[in-house]
Structures are given as structure tokens and as C-alpha cells.
């Protein structure tokens, strides 16, 4: 009876700037109880969505972290295919403010008049700003440290209803259960009023997913990552390449693990692997001593949140 709706992230691409064979640039599909969101949209994302058999018209919002090509070059193709396939429902794109101009010039130059409303929302480069709220999630920002403004996102589930106590549920008439879940007392006639607190348990804690796109080691993020069940953090390099990581404003796998450990998140998911690593196992090996509950993302991987 305390069944929870699935809350999952599907990693469509796990490569860095120049993806190695078999890897694709960054894109993730996030699904929570009927809400469907795309996070970053590297080249070929629409093909990756087709490959997993997902109808991309269901996506309501797209979140773009920054304007390096491996994180957004698939966007125009996806916008265009949605149009050609007859989309009518609105699409909202949250991203750096320049994105409106980048998309706008391409639509104008091709005299494309979209059949659906396209809303462009500028994302501030700051932490803790509420970007979007719908009936499923609240999305807030993370100010990452990269060569150009780069913003990460925290997706926090809306708190669910009160839960009926298993030992009392049978004393509540079925047609009154929703009212009790919403906090009402149970009135069983003039003589008997049962206070809500005797019938219910608090809602399950809301689950949360955090997406740390391209970033140098950024302990400033830690306060915003507390309580996160699953943290995706880029891990472009091994420790041997720490100088290169610093110079390009990326992280080593060990630095990703330090962030996960210090924020006490539930689980860490690594991605954005440099093409110099044919297998990402070397990155996992460096992260796990610092934060054991670490996994590698992979193309088409589905990861449960909470």
C-alpha cells in the first residue's frame, strides 16, 4: 500500500567532448510519476531516445546545463522532429540565456513555424534558485565551476500524501480514505471523532536527484546536495590527469566521490568519461575507496532514485 511511483534516470550518453567508440554525448531522461524531462541534449539524442523505444513527445521540459556542444548540439534536431511529427503540446527549454538566440536564428533562417508553443526560459548561474515547479517535481539550480557558465539541477519530488496506518486502515470507510490522507479527522457520527494523527503516518520523505554537469571540484555545492538520494557527477579524468582536470575545469573521479561523501548523498553515479579511457572501470576504482556506493553510468542505463 506504500507503493511509490518509479523515479528513474536513464543515461543516454556518457562521453566527454569527443566520445569514444560506443559512447555518446551527454543526455539523460528523467521520469517521475508521469513527469518526463530531458537533461542536456548532446548530438544524436533523438536517435538515442528512439533506440530505447521512448516517445519523446512526452517530454515537457528540457534542461540545458551549458553551451559546450557535447551538451546541446542535439537540441535543434529534437525540436525540429517534434514539429515534423505533429507535436501540439508546449515545450519549455530551460538553459543559458544565449540559447534563445541560437534556436531563434535557426528557426528564422529555415522559415520554420513550429506547430507547438516553444517557451525559452533563461537559467541563472546561481545555486538554490527554483527554476520550475509542476505537480511532480521542484527543480532548483546548482552553480557549477566551468570555463563558461554551467548550471546543474536538483529534481526534488513533491511530498506525497499522509499514509494510512496499516493497523487502522480497515476502520476507515473506503470513501473517506482520501480525505484522511489529506489530513482530515474522521467523523463517524456525533459520538465518534477520530483525530487524523491516530490514523496516519507522515508522508514518505521526498526523493531527490542531482545532476552535476561539467564542473571543477566545487565544495560550494555541498549544502545544496544534502538529502539527495542519487547524485550524478561528472568524472572526466583519473587522478593521474588531475592537472588536466584543473586546467579544463573538469573533475577527477576521486573529486566526484569527495563531493558525494561530504554531502552524504545516498548513491553516486559517474559519467562524462574522457575518450582516453576505453573502459571507465579505472574511474570507478578511484572513486570507490572514497565513496563506496558509486556506480558507472552507461549508454541506456536505467537508475532508480531512492
- The residues annotated with a catalytic role in the active site are 70
CB atoms within 10 A of CB 147: 13
The nearer residue to Zn ion, 127 or 236, going by C-beta atoms, is 236
Q: How far is the CB of 102 from Zn ion (least distance, A)?
A: 16
Stretch that binds Zn ion, among 61-69, 204-212, 229-237, 238-246 (CB under 5 A): 61-69
Site for Zn ion in 90-129 (CB under 5 A): none
Nearer Cβ to Zn ion, position 164 or 259? Answer: 259
Whose Cβ is closer to Zn ion: residue 229's or residue 234's?
234
User: Which residue pairs from 294-297 have beta carbons closer than 8 angstroms and sit at least 24 positions apart in sequence?
Assistant: 294/257, 294/260, 294/267, 294/268, 294/269, 294/270, 295/267, 295/268, 295/269, 295/270, 296/14, 296/269, 296/270, 296/271, 297/11, 297/14, 297/232, 297/269, 297/270, 297/271
> In whole angstroms, what is the distance from residue 234 CA to residue 34 CA?
27
Binding mask 198-237 for Zn ion (x = CB under 5 A): ----------------x-----------------------
Distance CA 43, CA 118 (A): 20
Residue 272 near Zn ion by CB under 5 A: no
| Region near Zn ion per CB under 5 A, out of 24-32, 65-73, 226-234, 236-244 | 65-73
CA 229/CA 206 separation, integer angstroms: 9
What is the smallest separation between the CB atom of 66 and Zn ion, expressed in angstroms? 6
Closest approach, Cβ 41 to Zn ion, in A, equals 14
Whether the CB-CB separation of 61 and 47 falls below 8 Å is answered with: no
Closest to Zn ion by CB, 35 vs 96, is: 96
- 294 Cα distance to chain centroid: 17
The DSSP-derived string for 43-64 is TTHHHHHHHTT--GGG--EEE-
Q: Is 20 helix (H, G, I), strand (E, B) or coil?
A: coil
Q: Judge contact between 181 and 161, C-beta under 8 A.
A: yes
Least separation in angstroms between residue 83's CB and Zn ion is 28
Of the listed pieces 62-70, 86-94, 171-179, 230-238, which binds Zn ion according to CB under 5 A? 62-70
* Residue 213 C-beta: closest distance to Zn ion, Å: 7
- For 73, 79, 139, 254, 271, the CA distances from 44, given in Å and listed in that order, are 8, 12, 25, 30, 17
Q: Which CB atom, from 146 or from 156, has the smaller least distance to Zn ion?
A: 146
The CB-of-146 to Zn ion minimum distance in angstroms stands at: 6
Our CB check for Zn ion shows the closer of 200 and 251 to be 251
* Rg for the chain, CA atoms, rounded: 22
According to CB under 5 A, which one of 23, 48, 68, 267 is a site residue for Zn ion? Answer: 68
Contacts of Zn ion in 170-199 (CB under 5 A): none
| Residue located via cell numbers 513550429 | 114
The residue range among 63-71, 72-80, 131-139, 157-165 that interacts with Zn ion, by the rule CB under 5 A, is 63-71
Residues lying near Zn ion in the complex (CB under 5 A) are found at 68, 214
Amino acid at each position: 500500500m506504500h507503493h511509490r511511483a518509479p523515479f528513474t534516470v536513464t543515461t543516454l550518453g556518457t562521453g566527454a567532448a569527443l566520445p569514444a567508440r560506443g559512447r555518446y554525448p551527454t543526455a539523460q531522461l528523467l521520469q517521475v510519476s508521469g513527469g518526463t524531462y530531458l537533461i542536456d541534449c548532446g548530438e544524436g539524442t533523438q536517435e538515442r531516445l528512439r533506440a530505447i523505444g521512448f516517445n519523446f513527445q512526452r517530454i515537457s521540459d528540457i534542461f540545458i546545463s551549458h553551451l559546450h556542444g557535447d551538451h546541446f548540439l542535439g537540441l535543434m534536431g529534437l525540436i525540429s522532429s517534434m514539429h515534423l511529427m505533429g507535436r501540439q503540446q508546449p515545450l519549455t527549454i530551460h538553459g543559458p540565456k544565449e540559447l534563445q538566440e541560437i534556436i531563434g536564428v535557426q528557426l528564422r533562417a529555415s522559415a520554420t513555424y513550429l506547430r507547438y508553443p516553444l517557451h525559452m526560459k533563461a537559467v541563472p548561474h546561481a545555486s538554490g534558485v527554483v527554476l520550475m515547479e509542476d505537480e511532480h517535481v521542484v527543480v532548483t539550480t546548482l552553480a557549477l565551476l566551468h570555463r563558461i557558465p554551467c548550471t546543474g539541477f536538483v529534481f526534488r519530488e513533491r511530498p506525497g500524501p499522509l499514509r494510512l496506518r496499516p493497523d487502522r486502515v480497515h476502520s476507515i470507510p473506503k470513501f473517506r480514505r482520501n480525505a484522511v490522507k489529506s489530513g482530515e479527522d474522521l467523523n463517524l457520527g456525533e459520538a465518534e471523532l477520530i483525530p487524523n494523527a491516530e490514523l496516519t503516518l507522515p508522508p514518505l520523505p521526498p526523493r531527490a536527484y542531482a545532476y552535476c554537469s561539467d564542473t571543477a571540484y566545487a565544495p560550494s555545492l555541498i549544502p545544496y546536495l544534502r538529502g539527495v538520494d542519487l547524485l550524478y557527477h561528472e568524472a572526466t579524468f583519473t587522478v593521474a590527469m588531475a592537472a588536466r582536470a584543473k586546467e579544463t575545469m573538469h573533475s577527477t573521479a576521486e573529486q566526484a566521490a569527495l563531493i558525494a561523501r561530504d554531502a552524504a548523498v545516498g548513491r553516486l553515479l559517474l559519467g562524462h568519461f574522457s575518450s582516453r579511457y576505453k573502459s571507465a572501470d579505472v574511474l570507478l576504482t578511484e572513486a570507490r575507496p572514497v565513496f563506496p556506493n558509486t556506480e558507472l553510468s552507461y549508454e541506456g542505463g536505467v537508475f532508480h532514485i531512492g
